[in-house]
Amino acid sequence: MSEILHPQSNSPSPFLDQIENAEKYRNYEAEARPCVQELYRLNHASQTLDFVLSKKAEYGRLDKAEMSIWEAMDYLTNLVDDSDPDIDLPQIDHALQTAEAIRMDGHPRWFQLAGFIHDLGKVLCMFDEPQWAVVGDTYPVGCAFSDRIVYHELFQANPDYSHPVYSTPNGIYDAHCGLDNVHISWGHDEYLYLVTRDYLPREAQWMIRYHSCYPVHREGAYTHLLSDGDAELLKWVRAFNPYDLYSKSEVRPDINELKPYYEDLVAEFFPEKLKW
């Protein structure tokens, strides 16, 4: 699996080369926790273009709170992602598992930081957002729902499914308009991107903004909406994805031992408080 270590490197990967049974991850069949399909039922019925636009307008003002990265991270110590079929540990564990895998492979500090904070947008639950509007795979709205989206059949309950414009391949978009011009279903990815974009390299912004957009970065859907420049940035999302996915383990990281390293890392890039 080392060929996906880094878009610009053929170096061996201490972490990725030790992965076994990769097929066990993202198993949405009968073994998935019952809450997973229920979450996607609500998600696919409710994530309309109007809903997404309203949430982007509401949260784009960044007027919900002022708090540090660590205050947000503390919230994740008690949050379990109901959309994850692989594991049910608190999100702080997943953050550290992801970041430590990236660090093991010697990636730059900004890459490690992206791994550590990538799910911090799940603090949306702090503002009483239901998990179906926070977690799970993301996908374009305002155009036809791809059959490569997990639980695609559940979109039949979505009002946009049969809309005369939104149900067409391009929908409201011009062909090859670029992913940044496409509205993606609302959730923690877009929210954290809005909060942190002024402090991170563009590659890290894309890792955060599109890491849950599996239909695009993994399944190859919606290529008709991508621009020429998107391909290069998606390489970074794909380079990030194995660490996000395959680092999941029942072996919990030692938070107290690792915290000093990540405190320094966070302080290198972020001010003491951010607007949320």
Closest C-alpha among 196, 193, 170, 151 to residue 47? 151
Give the pLDDT confidence of 27-83 residue by residue, as tens digits.
Answer: 556 556 678 899 999 999 999 999 999 999 999 999 999 999 999 998 877 766 565
Averaged pLDDT score across all residues of the chain: 89
Maximum alpha-carbon separation in the chain: 55
Closest C-alpha among 212, 252, 220, 248 to residue 24? 248
pLDDT value at position 28? Answer: 55
Q: Are 47 and 41 in contact (CB under 8 A)?
A: no
Give the pLDDT confidence of 118-151 residue by residue, as tens digits.
Answer: 999 999 998 999 999 999 999 999 999 999 999 9
Query: Which tokens go with 218?
Result: 């993994």
Question: Any idea where the domains of the chain sit in the sequence?
Answer: 33-275
Mean pLDDT of 213-221: 97
Task: Compute and round to an integer the Cα radius of gyration of the chain.
Answer: 18
Q: Which residues pair with 274 in a beta bridge?
A: 67
The percentage of residues in the chain with a pLDDT greater than 70, rounded to a whole number, is 86
Q: Which residue has the tokens 């990769």?
A: 22
